[in-house]
Chains A and B, each alone.
Chain A
């Protein structure tokens, strides 16, 4: 079956530091890949996505590239802010699976001033 593995947190950084959150996946087909963010007390928000190999998703300074050869979709941001403190989830969706997303366990990021 499908699965998503992401690095465990918490990840604690200083403001303006570089952030990387690793994500690897296992899928039977050619899934779309997503990063969702969950701010304290809020629901999940789509951060970025990529639908095919070598696509790069980007939003709010975050980037992730769909690497089929390494089955990875690592999230990066060059200079984090305190407001980026949240839990980040990597997820995949198979084309034939409707809206069934398979999520990783989440990575909590804490950015200190």
Chain B
């Protein structure tokens, strides 16, 4: 139990639709990262938010966007869904700054299927 919760756990969308995934960080953590894990592959870094600002982004198009709220919870939004967006989306939280190690704690993920 990492204290990182994600919702929904499973969802099905059709091409062209939009989706919002949610993440509640572990208490006290100020940083959240999102990863995409396609079936049978390792997770790929999408982006990271630190104190409500995006401060790192992987090789994902702008239709992948996010938010971090004052309570450090987060959303991942994906517009104009494509079939290849079908994947497990993982949220990870950590505490950066003040000499902390920044160890990541992952949620169990939201599995998105695009038809």
Binding site for B on A (CB under 8 A): 4, 36, 41-46, 49, 89, 91, 97-106
Once A46-B103, A97-B56 are accepted as A-B contacts, the answer to whether A103 and B42 lie under 8 Å apart by CB is yes
Instruction: Compute the total of residue contacts between A and B using a CB distance below 8 Å.
Output: 62
B107 touches A98 (CB 8 A): no
B31 touches A105 (CB 8 A): no
In chain A, what residue has the closest Cβ to B59? Answer: A1
A100 touches B109 (CB 8 A): no
B104 touches A101 (CB 8 A): yes
Q: Which of A43, A46, A102 has the most CB of B within 10 A?
A: A43
In chain B, what residue has the closest Cβ to A41? Answer: B108
Binding site for A on B (CB under 8 A): 2, 4, 31, 33, 35, 40-45, 48, 50, 55-56, 58, 90, 92, 94, 96, 102-104, 106-109
Enumerate chain A residues within 8 angstroms of B102, measured Cβ to Cβ. Answer: 98-99
In chain A, what residue has the closest Cβ to B94? Answer: A99
A102 to B92, CA, bound (A): 14
Enumerate chain A residues within 8 angstroms of B92, measured Cβ to Cβ. Answer: 44, 99
Contact of A100 among B2, B42, B48, B106 (CB under 8 A): B48
Contact of B58 among A46, A89, A100 (CB under 8 A): A100
B43 touches A44 (CB 8 A): yes
A49 to B94, CA, bound (A): 16
In chain A, what residue has the closest Cβ to B107? Answer: A43
Once A43-B106, A43-B109, A45-B106 are accepted as A-B contacts, the answer to whether A100 and B43 lie under 8 Å apart by CB is no
